[in-house]
Amino acid sequence: MSYVSTKEILIRARKEKFVVGAFNAVDYTTIAAIVKAAKEKRSPVIVQTSQKIVQYFGYKILPEMIKSLAQDADVPVAMILDHGTNLGVIENCIKYGWSSVMIDASSYPFEKNIEITKKVVEMAHKRGVSVEGEIGRIGGKEEHVIVEENSTLLTDPEKAVEFQRKTGVDSLAVAIGTKHGLYGGNCELDFNRLGRIMELSDFPIVIHGCSDLPIEDTRRLVSYGPSKMNISTEIKHKYLDSYKSYIGENPDEYEPVKTIRFVENEVKKLVEKFIDIFKSSNKA
């Protein structure tokens, strides 16, 4: 098993009570770091691409890079479009080889969210592509998706079940107090709400905004049994900070491959750390 849809690994994750880490990639170096970490830990993994990254690189090169690395790694690797809000981008990702897409219509009223999400599900499932939806509004900033604190909306557990039933999404992102970006030590999570969602649902639940959480909160989230947790901001910070660090310590070094290897290894170590926290090691 190598290149798979998120559905294949998230159903198993829910059943066996581990979390599959979903890590946002920005280029080949970060993709390689994520996949190599999964190989080292014998863990399934999800490589996420934002709309911005997709529009920068185009629709052909990203899936080819991930498929090639997945084949060499021989562990389950899925690829998902993260926070898809542009239906044209989503359609092209489905067409050109993404194994999974996320449709984020959470800014719309409940019934409109269902309508849009259902259309994407029908389009994706025809090609064997799995779909993640979102209900509630997760705060913070994730590239083009910006939700101010006064606009956040925590997920109604009963509505989450209704939403999945009416749309047919394969996994569902819920809002329980996490946010995109960095927390700076201020974090209030509604674990009771998450517990109720897990109690009522029988499908994979996704938690966004898991970068920079206190370790005790991260471990507690894992204990509730979500199938997928997203790490984006920490990957980006590690990527850029590693470049700055290497160049700062080696100002006369002009061999780019040395810098790239250093950055890749630093990102890889970060992904490995989360794989251990998520309890997905040796689950490949």
Higher-pLDDT residue of 209 and 1 is: 209
What's the distance, CA 211 to chain centroid? 11
Kindly list the catalytic residues. 82
Residue 188's CB: how many other CB atoms inside 10 A? Answer: 8
Residue 283 lies in a domain: no
Domain residue limits at 110: 3-278
Cβ(34)–Cβ(230) under 8 Å?
no
Structure tokens at 200: 């009522």
Within 10 angstroms of residue 261's Cβ, the number of other Cβ atoms is: 13
Instruction: Report if residue 68 sits inside a domain.
Output: yes
* Cα atoms in the Cβ-side hemisphere of radius 13 Å centred on 88: 2
Residue 115 within any structural domain of the chain: yes
The pLDDT tens digits of the residues spanning 193-249 come to 999 999 999 999 999 999 989 999 999 999 999 999 999 999 999 999 999 999 999
Give the three-class secondary structure for 62: helix
Q: Is 38 within the bounds of a domain?
A: yes
Q: What is the CATH number of the domain that holds 107?
A: 3.20.20.70
Phi, psi values for residue 2, rounded to 5°: -140, -85
Nearest to 170 by CA among 116, 236, 245, 102: 102
Could you give the 3-state DSSP secondary structure of residue 96? helix
- In the sheet that holds 145-147, the strands lie side by side as 145-147, 139-142, 179-180
Residue at 163 is within a domain: yes
**Could you give the number of structural domains in the chain?**
1
For residue 205, the model assigns a pLDDT of 98
Instruction: Note the pLDDT tens digit of each residue in 66-99.
Output: 999 999 999 999 999 999 999 999 999 999 999 9
Question: 256: pLDDT confidence band, cut at 50, 70 and 90?
Answer: very high
- The chain-wide mean pLDDT, for the chain, equals 93
Q: Which pLDDT does position 148 carry in this prediction?
A: 39
Confidence of residue 179 (pLDDT cuts 50, 70, 90): confident
Report the predicted TM-score, pTM, of the whole model to 2 decimal places.
Answer: 0.93
In a domain, 226, yes or no: yes
Q: What is the pLDDT of residues 107-149, one digit of tens each?
A: 899 999 999 999 999 999 999 999 999 998 764 444 554 443 5
Q: Which of 92-101, 173-182, 263-272 has the lowest mean pLDDT?
A: 173-182
More confident residue, 144 or 274: 274
* 237 inside domain: yes
In this structure, are residues 173 and 226 in contact, taking their beta carbons and an 8 Å threshold?
no
Residue 284: inside a domain: no
Q: Identity (one letter) of the amino acid at 13?
A: A
